[in-house]
Amino acid sequence: MTLYVGVALVAAAVLLFIMQPVVRGLHASLEREDDELTETEARKRVALLALRDVEYDFLAGKLDEQDYRSLKSELTAEALAALEADEAARASDGASSDPDVEEEIARIRDGLRSGVVCDDCGFTNEKGSRFCSACGHALADRVAR
């Protein structure tokens, strides 16, 4: 009887030992969301949120077009720089990060880098766009990249 209890205890201890990094890893990745933002992650987040706010403010009529254009180009440059800094920091950490996050970063970065900026209104359209989705201006002669 005591033998079985002992075996069970050892098995439980071994299982805990094996699971430890998994549990710790899960915990760390959850905490990272709010508490352990690195400097570059925070900068990236701020830049992207600011960029989004500018869009909303312009659509809501809180920004005039001139302010919108200058803010947008300023923040786009900042967001790009922040994305690249964050990526560089990740690479030097050697940290394997969430592939979904990686994918989203790549998507945002490509959009910012190779998006077609409308000559008429300054809106950054998706790569390959032929007409501005904000004002309808033809973008056909502007090749992305």
CA gap 103, 85 in Å, rounded: 16
Q: Does 54 bind Zn ion (CB under 5 A)?
A: no
Stretch that binds Zn ion, among 27-35, 43-51, 103-111, 128-136 (CB under 5 A): 128-136
- Least gap, CB of 118 to Zn ion (angstroms): 3
Q: Which of 123, 124, 127, 143 binds Zn ion (CB under 5 A)?
A: 123
Please report, as a single letter, which amino acid is at residue 46. Answer: V
Q: Does 137 bind Zn ion (CB under 5 A)?
A: yes
**Residue spans of alpha helices (H) in the chain:** 2-32, 39-59, 65-93, 99-114
Q: Does 121 bind Zn ion (CB under 5 A)?
A: yes
* Tokens describing residue 132: 């501005």
Is residue 78 within 8 A of residue 47, CB to CB? The reply is: yes
Enumerate residues 91-120 that contact Zn ion by CB under 5 A. Answer: 118, 120
Percent helix, strand, coil in the chain (nearest 5)?
Answer: 65, 5, 30
CA gap 118, 136 in Å, rounded: 9
For Zn ion, give the closer residue by CB, 83 or 139.
139
> Tokens 């056909």 map to which residue?
140
Q: Which of 63, 82, 116, 132 binds Zn ion (CB under 5 A)?
A: 132
For Zn ion, give the closer residue by CB, 40 or 124.
124
* Tokens describing residue 5: 């209890």
- Least gap, CB of 122 to Zn ion (angstroms): 7
Stretch that binds Zn ion, among 25-33, 61-69, 99-107, 123-131 (CB under 5 A): 123-131
- Least gap, CB of 111 to Zn ion (angstroms): 16
The number of angstroms, rounded, from the C-alpha of 125 to the middle of its chain's C-alpha atoms is 18
Query: Where do contacts with Zn ion occur on this chain (CB under 5 A)?
Result: 118, 120-121, 123, 132, 134-135, 137
